[in-house]
Each structure stands twice: as C-alpha cells, then as structure tokens.
Amino acid sequence: MKNQKVIDVYNGLVVKFKELISEYEIDHNDYQDLVNWMDQLGKAGEIPLFMDVFFETHALQEMYKNVKGTEPTILGPYYIENTPDIQNPGVLPQRENEPGDVLYFSGTVKDIDGTPLANTKIDMWQADANGEYSYFAEGIPANNLRGVFYTDANGEFEVKTVVPGNYSVPTDGPSGQFLKWVDHHAYRPAHLHLLFQPENGDKLVTQIYFEGDQYLEDDVAQGVRGSLITKLDKHKGTEKGLKNDYYTAHLDFELRLQDKPVFNKAVLNN
C-alpha cells in the first residue's frame, strides 16, 4: 500500500544526501566506506543502538514540542517486559546487600490539569551502582532493580532502590567506531527509567537524572531534559534504622489523558 509519508521522507533524504555529497566532496571511496560501515552496523545488530543514541531524542522532541505535560525521553535498549509487581511504597527487587547507596525515590502523578491519577501503572528499571543492567550483564539476577507498581489514591508513590551509576554505551562495535570518528565519549549520566501507563491516558516513557552528574551537559544519547533533573538529598541512616547514610529524591509528573493524546499508538504496543 502506498505510503505518502515514506515517499516524502525518501525524496527529502535523497535531496539532502546529494547536497552533502557536493558540500563535503564525498567521493566514491568515501561512499564505499559508508556502505561497508552500515553493513557492519546491521550485522552487529547495532542499528537500534545507533538510532537510540543519535536520533530517538530528536524524534521525541519534535513529537512533543507543543504539548503540555512531563517531557518524555528515550526508552533505551534495556527495557524488559513483564517484570515483578511490587507494593507501593515498596522495594525494587535487588540482591542481598545490593552495592551502592540506598535511595528512596518518590513522586506524585497528575493529569495536565492537576488532578491526581490513582492506580497509574509505573514500570521502573535502572542500572546498578556499577552502571550495569540485569539481563545485559553477567552475574546479575533476573529482574534485579526492575519492577512494576501502581500509584495510590492520591497519585503518589515511593520506591526504595539504590543510586544508579553512570555507564558507557557499547563501544566494541561500529557504533563505538563512529563515536571515535566524531570524537565523543560514550557515557550516559546516571538515571532512573520510568514508563507510566495511566488507566485512560497516554503512556509516558521518561528518565530521571540527578544534579551534579558530570555527564548532564554532554550525554552521548542527548536524552537529558532540564525538567527531569532532581536533587539527591543525603540523610543520616539512623533516621530509618540503616547502618549507612541514605538519599532521597522526588519529582512530580503530569500525564496527558486520552482526549489529548500524543502516543495514540504509543512507543510501546503492550
């Protein structure tokens, strides 16, 4: 079936690529190098990684540029479906004596008019203190630091977890080679992933960042939004009967209801 949007994008891409060839004097050797690199990108299974790092954030910004509510940011490659349900308030599944500083993360979920959204499903996942994700690193149990919970009657939630570490995207393949060519580091700032699914509203995929992270201004994936940065407040462990000091962080969220949809087909189809 004919798709006019595909036709328009293809024609625009051809025009832009021809302009680049002329502007930067790309010869046939350069062209062959590009084709070979793209072939390696596909064979390495890194097309999703490359697109996530270099293009996803721009597509989201375009989609939401005139829309109210909490800003979205990239889903990333580390999302896993069907993780365990936990209580609210609750604890993300984790190893006994999970490495890292304890973090209590809380928030309130409302619609864009300020009405609390009870029973909103929240899927949360994150890297551990060493910047590694369960299912993607050896020695980490399944579903470690991954869980699903629901907001209470006031739209509020609180989760006990650990402060995540920042990490490097994979650099041993063609995507890493590209980063070397453009002289850019491969690191992302520490963050929490959240997927909100209200009962009658748009899904929201977003991430939470922390003040003071060295990569906030230079995130390789360009996923940071100023409105998604929050503060880590340090507390004495004795306040909660803990051996070590702990941290708290808080951020409130505004979701769009179905009469004001953006993701009417959603980033995720589940």
Reported as a single tens digit per residue, the pLDDT across 59-78 is 888 888 888 899 999 998 89
- The arithmetic mean of pLDDT across residues 175-183, rounded, is 96
Total length of the chain: 270
Residue 267: predicted pLDDT: 44
Q: Say whether pLDDT at 264 is over 50.
A: no
Q: Which residue has the tokens 């680049």?
A: 20
Question: Is the predicted pLDDT of residue 166 greater than 80, yes or no?
Answer: yes
Catalytic annotation, residues:
133, 167, 188, 191, 193
pLDDT, position 60: 85
pLDDT tens digit sequence for 211-231:
999 999 999 999 999 999 999
User: Quick one: average pLDDT of 189-198?
Assistant: 97
Q: What is the pLDDT of residue 261?
A: 52
Section 47-52 average pLDDT: 91
Indicate whether 259 pLDDT > 90. no
Q: How far apart are CA 29 and CA 35, in angstroms?
A: 10
**pLDDT tens digit sequence for 2-16:** 999 999 999 999 999
Average pLDDT, the chain: 93
DSSP the chain: ---HHHHHHHHHHHHHHHHHHHHTT--HHHHHHHHHHHHHHHHTT-HHHHHIIIIIHHHHHHHTTT--SSPP----TT--SSPPB--SSEE----TT-SS-EEEEEEEEEETTS-B-TT-EEEEEE--TTS--TTSSTT--TTTTEEEEE--TTSEEEEEEEPPPPEEPP-SSHHHHHHHHTT---EE--EEEEEEE-TTB--EEEEEEETT-TTTTS-TT----GGGEE--EEE-GGGGT-SS-EEEEE--EEE-BTTS-S-SS-SS--
- What is the predicted pLDDT for the residue at 165? 98
Determine the pLDDT at residue 77.
87
The per-residue pLDDT for 57 is 87
- On the question of pLDDT at 90 being above 80, the answer is yes
Q: In this predicted structure, which of 159-173, 219-233, 249-263 has the lowest mean pLDDT? A: 249-263
pLDDT of residue 262: 56
Give pLDDT, residue 270: 36
Residue 269 is predicted with a pLDDT of 40
258 band by pLDDT with thresholds 50, 70 and 90: low
Q: What would the mean pLDDT of 50-57 be, rounded to a whole number?
A: 90
Instruction: Output the CA–CA distances (angstroms, integers) from residue 112 to 25, 75, 256, 259, in the order listed.
Output: 49, 22, 6, 12
pLDDT more than 70, % of the chain: 95
Structure confidence at residue 162 (pLDDT): 99
Domains contained in the chain, CATH given: 44-255 (2.60.130.10)
Q: Is the pLDDT of residue 208 over 90?
A: yes
